[in-house]
Structure 1
């Protein structure tokens, strides 16, 4: 089944065509803590901007843009010339580690009283008055 996923689905990592293109035209630059792999083109032949080389990310598992950490995001978008493997971003002591968007997963935040959490909602307090057209 994983071979079929590789051929037909782009959301489960890279398709076979993308892997072929990257192997032919790209150079491996590095990997982040989430297992995403980053590549840069060997030349500017198929770049959108003739002065810049094209850059790719191949997601580890489901393709979700929020899985890209800020330092790699800056490199992908040419904000930083050097990849984080060469020149990592300085971290402040108050900064938290990057976490992808967890909405829609079992790890998503569910406040007290949320039906998705299995709790019961609070009873209405009586200050609610239904709207009626006049």
Structure 2
């Protein structure tokens, strides 16, 4: 089994603030899948996307209550190319309204840092160096 791509769907409160936040972090959007109810955040074009959907629209996809920023239902971990990129993304996120929910961790072969975005979704930004892994 192999999937072609993945779309993670997350509820958001404010489209404009969300667009501004992710743009300031250096990310882009697929405008073909973005409108006044949702944004398609490009994580890896052609493979990985995050649909950031207004609460009103998101509620049409589920019969369960939408979790608020005081609960955790998913941790979204994304891998980047360097430790410096981890630090830069987290720094920009915090400067633009995100909050830190735990400190960074350095395991030698894996380094990561974390933030909660404007809607409380928890993101882990990580760099891994397979050459540092224990055999």
How does the TM-score come out when normalised to structure 2? 0.26
Between Structure 1 and Structure 2, the one with more helix by share is: 2
Between Structure 1 and Structure 2, the one with more strand by share is: 2
Structure having the higher Rg: 1
